[in-house]
A and B are shown apart, each in its own frame.
Chain A
Amino acid sequence: MRRATAVWILVLSAAGCFAAKDSCVECHSAIGGDLQAPADQIKHDVHTRHGLSCSACHGGDPGSDDPGIAMSRARGFVGRPARTAVPRLCARCHSDASFMHKYEPRQRVDQYAQYVTSIHGKRIAAGDMAAAVCTDCHGTHGIRAVKDPLSPVHPLRLPDTCAHCHADSQRMSKYKIPTDQFEGYHRSVHWEALAKRGDLSAPSCASCHGNHGATPPGVASVAAVCGTCHVLMEDLFNKSPHKPVFDAMGAAGCVVCHSNHEVLRTSPSMLAGPDAVCSQCHEGTSAGGLAATQMGALIRKLSDALERSDAILDRASRAGMEVSEAVLRQNDAREQLVKARVAVHAFDPGAVEKPAREGLAIAAETYQAGTAAMQERARRRMGLGLSLAAILITIAGLWLAVRRLEARGRESGG
């Protein structure tokens, strides 16, 4: 491997020396049609920016204008690499830490090692030509850095890139896996955070499945995958009575209630009411059903109280009243709502009650502040009305006095 890398470095160095002369780009730019596309795309390629060119992957001699020499086997020309050879071709550089250090010192070099353990890598190794290789996700001649918003693996574009194959029912039919993941993900809170709020740290496909080592999380590892972000929920769930029961049933933890791709915004109706997920297993009158109803009612009550306070504070604020202290205090109540929602994963109404009660007390306080502000506004308007009336009466009195004065002046001939 070391010797191969050394030879490859020599080839790349030679390519770098002849950077001024690149017959591949020159000829392909003039050919037109499909063969011209690579020459156009490579202008934006991250490798080109680092001084690498076509010959780094395809071999050959870019210093020669003679196509016969430039693309001769004698000059190392490999042509279009076989699909199965692509991962190894990329890995020649990307798995070599000392080589990569020259260009991207902080970039990982375990992509290939992960890839061979992934479902894609295993299928390619088994000769399945439809399985994904590096170029399917990263592109071929116009490869961009992951942080480049135009890269197909940029966080905002990654779900579309995965969906290109995984939402294609015809392509997926032979694997017998569903193709509605992307559709479900599009309705999820994770997608909302990523696409609508622009939060690039929000989870997309690779966050749960891995990127180069892409594999579906097994039943046992679902809670661990969700727990990488939702630490407190995972901790409470693991200590809860549901954990051993779900394990025994072979149920995939979080997914049982929240689904996998279509992770919707949680609401109290998940706990109580006709659409409650708890009712899938618990009768409404059972201890579990009653506990769920109680938790749902507490969260709904706090959520409604917060909404009520928000509405009155918003009205007061729009009326120009100074309620910033109460608005800030609302954040404390919201924090309690988050705590109450987290506490649901202990499946103990007592754990939910404490933050819910605290939040309700704050919401009552902020509502009172909003009401006081609106009453103050009404008092101000009343005061303004009375003041304006007094001012108008005074102006009218002055006007009459002026009129009388001037009339007297005219009478006296002044």
Chain B
Amino acid sequence: MRIRLGEASESFRQWAEERLGLKEVRDFLAHKKVPLHSATIWYYFGGITLFLFVIQVLTGILLLLYYRPTPAEAYESVQFIMTRVEFGWLVRSIHSWSANLMILSAFIHMFSVVFLHAYRRPREVTWLSGIALLGLSLAFGFSGYLLPWNEISYFATKVGTDMAASLPWIGEPLARFLRGGDDVGGATLTRFFGFHVAVLPGAMTLFLLVHLALVQKFGISVPPKVEEAAQQNRQPLAQMPFFPNFFLRELMAWYAALGVLGSLAALFPWELGVKADPFAPAPAGIRPEWYFLAPFYTLKLLPSHVWFIEGELLGLMAFTLLGVFWAMLPFWAVDRQGAVRTRLVTGAGVALLAYLGTFSALGYWR
């Protein structure tokens, strides 16, 4: 019997080998290495972000089974999911918490890339695709925030689209495109739902494939200091096999993320709030999700006019410039000789981190 089982297993392996070419995958994984140094821990955050995105896709599909994107039914359908559907509360809470953790993880990943100088040649396009992924994640957050059609999300979307409307030339048409009309309403909800479940996932998948393919092509970057130290000591760079060593460690990180996610969902279920009433006055203390707090608070601080330019317009223009400048980091981070301006980049990273941290905290507490 044992012999027969062994034979069956071997013949299945051969069958699969012929059809799937698993040996090539095994060989690829066997040769793939991950640098081992004091900052290796930061390499896990890319994987954690990917893991949380997969969670988002899976829970999002489950929510789609019951969610109805109309002003008359959206709130009630989410309420139904949370109270009547078996484990609906868990799925919705995990979807909401995972969205936030994914953006947090994406930010950590981005800043680790900055501080480890992993954006440098030849990884400029990898950086750009990463920035695009972060932008898409924020767009996911903004569009998803409205979907439960509650009071806070309704007015936050109103404020957000009003900000877009204040942009010169493209502001009005952009706001109309986002809202599907003059104001936030049923058309906006349908539109945001379309962006959230079709347009953004498509774009995200595309950029994700590009990002992952580039990471595979160029391998994982080694920080300049580690490289220099290895050269000075005339020692090869310490590495660990991607499979199974790094993969198993990454798996541990995913399990830990799952534990945090489950705890947050069970102990602090995501609130549904009060159903949106477009005719009611905006409640006090309207504020966006935490990742938009820093620009939101900055715009609140600006005077109505700075010289002859509207304060809000000036702020938006400054944020656009800052975004472009940040996205172009790999191109201004190296001098003409190709050397990385590590101090400048680290300083810029610390400054941006300090700004985001301080203004987000101020926006939250005030």
CB pair A387–B262 under 8 Å, yes or no, is yes
Question: A382-400 CB contact bits vs B (8 Å, 1 = yes)?
Answer: 0110011001101100110
User: Which residues of B are found within 8 Å of A398, using beta-carbon distances?
Assistant: 248-249, 251-252, 255
| B40 CB–A CB distance under 8 Å | no
Task: Please give, as numbers and ranges, the residues of chain A lying within 8 Å of B307 by CB-CB distance.
Answer: none
Question: B245 near A384 (CB under 8 angstroms)?
Answer: no
In contact, A322 and B262 (Cβ under 8 angstroms): no
Residues of B with C-beta under 8 A to A381: 266-267
B249 engages A322 (CB within 8 Å): no
Q: Is there contact, CB below 8 Å, between B79 and A324?
A: yes
Task: Determine whether the beta carbon of A380 is less than 8 Å from that of B266.
Answer: yes
Question: For residue A380, which residues in chain B have a CB less than 8 angstroms away from its CB?
Answer: 89-90, 266
- Which segment of A32-40, A156-164, A401-409 sits at the interface? A401-409
A320-B271, A384-B267, A399-B252 as given contacts; A405 in contact with B245, CB under 8 Å: yes
Q: Which residue of A lies closest to B268 (CB)?
A: A320
With a cutoff of 8 Å between Cβ atoms, the chain A residues found around residue B258 in the complex are: 391
A interface, by DSSP: helix, strand, loop or mixed?
A: helix
Shortest Cβ distance from A279 into chain B, in angstroms? 45
Which residue in B89, B251, B262 is a CB contact (below 8 Å) of A388? B262
A320 CB contacts on chain B under 8 angstroms: 267-269, 271
**B262–A402 touching, CB < 8 Å:** no
Chain B residues lying within 8 Å of A387, measured Cβ to Cβ, are 259, 262
Q: Determine whether B164 belongs to the interface, using a CB cutoff of 8 Å to chain A.
A: no
Residue A321 is within 8 A (CB to CB) of chain B in the complex: yes
CA distance A322 to B150 in the complex (A): 14
Query: Which residues in chain B, 36-66, are within 8 Å of chain A measured between CB atoms?
Result: none
Assess whether A388 is in contact with B249, with CB atoms less than 8 Å apart: no
> Shortest Cβ distance from A407 into chain B, in angstroms?
12
Give the shortest distance, in Å, between B266 (CB) and chain A (any CB): 4
- A325 at interface (Cβ–Cβ under 8 A)? yes
Interface residues of A in 307-361 (CB under 8 A from B): 320-322, 324-325
Contact residues, B156-197 vs A (CB, 8 A): none
CA distance A387 to B263 in the complex (A): 9
Considering the chains assembled together, what is the distance between the CA atoms of A343 and B263 in angstroms? Answer: 50
A405 to B244, Cβ gap below 8 A?
A: yes
Q: How many whole Å from A392's CB to the nearest CB in chain B?
A: 7
| Those of B238-252 within 8 Å (CB) of chain A | 240, 244-245, 248-249, 251-252
Inter-chain CA distance A388–B240, complex, in Å, is 29
Residues of B within 8 A of A388 (CB): 259, 262-263
Known A402-B248, A402-B249: A394·B255 in contact at CB below 8 Å: yes
Min distance, Cβ A410 to any Cβ of chain B, angstroms? 11
Within 8 A of A (CB), among B263-309: 263, 266-269, 271-272
Determine how close the nearest CB of chain B comes to the CB of A323; give it in whole angstroms.
8
Q: Does B358 contact A (CB under 8 A)?
A: no
Shortest CB distance A315–B (Å) = 14
Among residues of A, the one whose C-beta sits closest to the C-beta of B273 is A324
B209-250 toward A: CB 8 Å interface, digit per residue (1/0)? Answer: 000000000000000000000000000000010001100110
CA distance A325 to B269 in the complex (A): 17
Are B269 and A321 within 8 A (Cβ)? yes
| B256 contacts partner chain A, Cβ-Cβ < 8 Å | yes
Most buried by B among A381, A391, A406: A391
Whether, in the assembled complex, B83 has its beta carbon less than 8 Å from a beta carbon of chain A, the answer is: yes
B82 in the interface (beta carbon within 8 A): yes
Q: Would you call B79 and A391 a contact (CB within 8 A)?
A: no
Chain A residues, Cβ within 8 Å of B251: 398
CB distance from A341 to the nearest CB of B (A): 28
A321 CB contacts on chain B under 8 angstroms: 269
Q: In the bound complex, what is the Cα–Cα distance between A399 and B255 (angstroms)?
A: 12
B255→A395 contact, CB < 8 A: yes
C-alpha spacing A118/B89, complex, angstroms: 66
Shortest distance in angstroms between A387's beta carbon and chain B's nearest beta carbon?
5
Return the contact of A401 from the options B82, B248, B262, B272 (Cβ within 8 A).
B248
Which residue of chain B lies nearest to A391 when distances are taken between CB atoms in the complex? Answer: B259
**Beta-carbon contact of A391 and B267 below 8 Å:** no
Q: In the bound complex, how far is the Cα of B259 from the Cα of A395, in angstroms?
A: 10
Q: Considering only CB atoms, which chain A residue lies closest to B240 in the complex? A: A406
Residue from the list A322, A394, A399 in contact with B82, Cβ < 8 A:
A322
Q: How far is the CA of A321 from the CA of B90 in the complex (A)?
A: 11
Bound: A325/B268 CA distance, A = 19
Given the interface pairs A322-B82, A322-B89, A398-B248, the reply to whether A383 lies near B266 with Cβ below 8 Å is yes
Establish whether residues A322 and B263, one from each chain, have CB atoms under 8 Å apart when the complex forms: no
Query: In chain A, what residue has the closest Cβ to B257?
Result: A391
CA distance A324 to B82 in the complex (A): 11
- Report the separation of the CA atoms of residues A284 and B259 in the bound assembly, to the nearest whole angstrom: 64
- Contact check: which of B259, B266, B267, B272 meets A324 at CB < 8 Å? B272
Decide if A392 touches B259 in the complex (CB within 8 Å).
yes
A295 to chain B, nearest CB (A): 36
Report B-chain residues with C-beta under 8 Å of the C-beta of A401. 248
Docked Cα-Cα span, A384 to B249, in Å, equals 23
When distances are taken between beta carbons in the complex, the residues of chain B under 8 Å from A391 are 255-256, 258-259, 262
* C-alpha gap A227/B268 in the complex (Å): 49
Within 8 A of A (CB), among B52-109: 79, 82-83, 89-90
Hey, which chain A residues are within 8 Å of B255, CB to CB? 391, 394-395, 398
Q: Smallest distance from the beta carbon of B358 to chain A beta carbons, Å?
A: 29
Q: List B contacts of A395 (CB < 8 A).
A: 252, 255-256
Q: Which of B259, B267, B272 contacts A322 (CB 8 A)?
A: B272
A402 touches B82 (CB 8 A): no
| Chain A residues whose CB sits within 8 angstroms of the CB of B259 once the complex forms | 387-388, 391-392
A384 to B93, CA, bound (A): 13
Give the docked Cα–Cα distance between A395 and B267 (Å): 22
The reply to whether B262 and A325 form a contact with Cβ atoms under 8 Å apart is: no
- Given the complex of chains A and B, what is the CA–CA distance between A381 and B263 in angstroms? 9
How far does the Cβ of A394 sit from chain B's closest Cβ, in whole Å? Answer: 6
Shortest Cβ distance from B270 into A: residue? A320
**Measured between alpha carbons, how far is A402 from B251 in the docked complex, in Å?**
11
Residues of B within 8 A of A392 (CB): 259
Flag if A384 contacts B262 (CB, 8 Å).
yes
Q: Which chain B residue lies CB-closest to A381?
A: B266
Chain A residues with CB below 8 A from B82, complex form: 322
Q: Which of A322, A398, A406, A409 has the most CB of B within 10 A?
A: A322
Q: Can you give 25 contacting A-B residue pairs, CB < 8 Å?
A: A320-B268, A322-B79, A325-B79, A325-B83, A381-B266, A383-B266, A384-B262, A384-B266, A387-B259, A388-B259, A388-B262, A391-B255, A394-B255, A395-B252, A395-B255, A395-B256, A398-B251, A399-B252, A402-B245, A402-B248, A402-B252, A405-B244, A406-B240, A406-B245, A409-B245
Nearest 8 pairs of A and B residues by beta carbon: A320-B269, A384-B266, A322-B82, A391-B259, A380-B266, A398-B252, A402-B248, A395-B255
Q: Interface residues, chain B, CB within 8 Å of chain A?
A: 79, 82-83, 89-90, 240, 244-245, 248-249, 251-252, 255-256, 258-259, 262-263, 266-269, 271-272
Given A325-B79, A391-B262, 8 more contacts at CB 8 Å? A322-B79, A324-B79, A388-B262, A391-B258, A395-B255, A398-B255, A401-B248, A402-B248
